[in-house]
Structure 1
Amino acid sequence: MAPSKPPRLLDQVREVARLKHFSLATEKSYVYYIRDFILFHNKQHPKEMGAPEIRAYLSHLAIQRNVAASTQTVALSALLFLYRQVLDIELPYIENIERARRSQRLPVVFTRSEVKCILANLDGIQHLIVSLLYGTGIRLIEGLRLRVKDLDFEYHQITVRDGKGQKDRLTMLPG
């Protein structure tokens, strides 16, 4: 039997992310930024790089790509995950990163009349789900995963299972 090749780096990232029960969205984001980091440094292996290369990449994201501050934070988290959890390399504190600017815009929120107009154009399951999202503030994926057993009409509450961070929580059931 021929010796098997060790798994590719991004496959290792996926495996560790799944062992740590990361959401699929987090796993995909991490793989994307790790791959982008490697490509940014001309396909150099991360074991051959360190804090200066991470600093250069994150500064590139902020300056040249003009990404949002939260996007830059996700990229940093992905790289720290790669080094600490996958490669088992402890990095020194990374200083002097050019930080992306936080958005000064206020979030856009629908008025009650706009919500009524949207709900008036929906029916069936879509109307039910959008009404629950609006009335409870739960995330879209949480609303789509709801089951009948999660609704408690006596106590007017909804059990949100496996929400963000794989946690269950209770929220109110709107009238």
Structure 2
Amino acid sequence: MSGPVLVIELAEAVPHAAIQRLHEFLVRSSARCKEKRFGEYDLNVHAESLGITDTGGVDGSRPVLVSLMGPGIGDEAIFEAEHADEVDQEPLIGFAPTYAIDVIAFCNRPVDHVVTALLTAAVMDVVGGVANAELREDQVPIVAGLPGVIATTTNPWPAAYGSAEFVRAWAQQPGFRLLK
């Protein structure tokens, strides 16, 4: 079963030194970190390493994929397909994304939603970027007032864009759940 996904939009290529720092962080935070290709990591993330104490009774090591994509790095076709039906993001976030990082959980328990969010924020601390989160209609007013929100939109679907601070603040909301 697939779980929640968050996307980090990037204005430019991530420098190799930042990708190396990201790799080092992921190794420290994980029970297992397999580099599938440069910039793509198959992980079992320790929930505790992200500050999560309530794992809902499931194993604290959660399966996640962190995948950098864009020209010259890999998964260019996936990047293009994911962005083909997006609204023009430049007026919303100040740039047209040329690269992205997907943070994808492989399970769909409540803890996996929190792991995905907090891991996304931690990745943003290393590489920068803007989180792009699809929302349910009822989540739009909840996220609109959170710190670090850059923009929200309802067209073509509800979404919020924000900083790592936004992602962390959202993950603390009661009943937090990512759309997918």
Give TM-score scaled by structure 1 length: 0.28
Higher helix share: 1
Determine which structure has more spread, i.e. the larger CA radius of gyration. 1
Q: Which has the higher contact order (CA 8 A, sep 6+)?
A: 2
From the two aligned structures, give the one with the greater strand fraction. 2
TM-score, L = length of structure 2: 0.28
